[in-house]
Amino acid sequence: MPMPILHDTLSFVLRRIKIDNFIASKERYPDLMTEEQIITQCIVNVVAGVGTSTVSTINVLKYLSRNMAETQLLSYLDGLVREGIPLRGADGFNPNGRVVGPEGLVLPGKVKLPPGTVVGIKPSVASIRERTFGPRPYELVPDRWCRGDDETEEDYVERRALMERGDML
């Protein structure tokens, strides 16, 4: 069984056991373990560790930012960050809005937008265009941001510039 599937399966089983234990505690000690307590315990288990993960990530980024010249040379790390944010990032429901200019805008399909209309697209949606990002845009492929072994410098610069223009993050 592949590791991600094994991890997800074990994680599900362990969560299920925990919930079953909370429910059993409620049945055994109804005055101590209420439905509200079960919900609280579930929430606590979901958010446990978020703070430590956040602090660790912030520290790594802080140390990387102190050495920007060297960090810029780490193309794989750059690719990892650029890939990870749109695929797993938290861009939520906040599309990057732009205001249609005074001439208006005609969308594909001949839809006309009047001047002043606010249009937007979520970065995670814009970052999955195969035409811009190459094959498998839904997968984490940090190497796509690196120069390929058989790629000329000119081709690499052109390909990377296309991805950077399409990268809305």
Distance, CA of 165 to CA of 1 (rounded, Å): 39
In a domain, 78, yes or no: yes
Beta bridge partners of 88: none
For residue range 92-132, what is the model confidence (pLDDT) as tens digits?
555 567 889 999 999 888 899 999 998 887 777 777 888 88
In a domain, 8, yes or no: no
In a domain, 6, yes or no: no
Distance, CA of 100 to CA of 63 (rounded, Å): 40
* Tokens describing residue 98: 């732009």
Beta bridge partners of 112: 106
In a domain, 154, yes or no: yes
At residue 35, the pLDDT reads 85
Answer whether 48's CB lies under 8 Å from 132's CB. Answer: no
In a domain, 80, yes or no: yes
Q: What is the pTM of this model?
A: 0.52
In 3D space, the residue among 65, 71, 95, 115 whose CA is nearest the CA of residue 169 turns out to be: 95
In a domain, 153, yes or no: yes
In a domain, 113, yes or no: yes
Query: What residues make up the domain containing 66?
Result: 49-166
Q: What percent of the chain has pLDDT above 70?
A: 78
Say how many domains are in the chain: 1
User: DSSP H helical segments within the chain, as ranges?
Assistant: 3-28, 35-47, 50-66, 68-71, 75-88, 123-126, 130-133, 153-166
In a domain, 36, yes or no: no
Residues 6+ apart with CB under 8 A from 151: 159
**Tens digit of each residue's pLDDT, the chain (169 residues):** 444 444 445 455 555 667 787 888 888 888 888 888 888 877 777 777 666 777 787 888 888 888 878 877 788 888 888 887 766 555 555 556 788 999 999 988 889 999 999 888 777 777 788 888 899 888 889 999 999 999 999 999 999 999 888 876 5
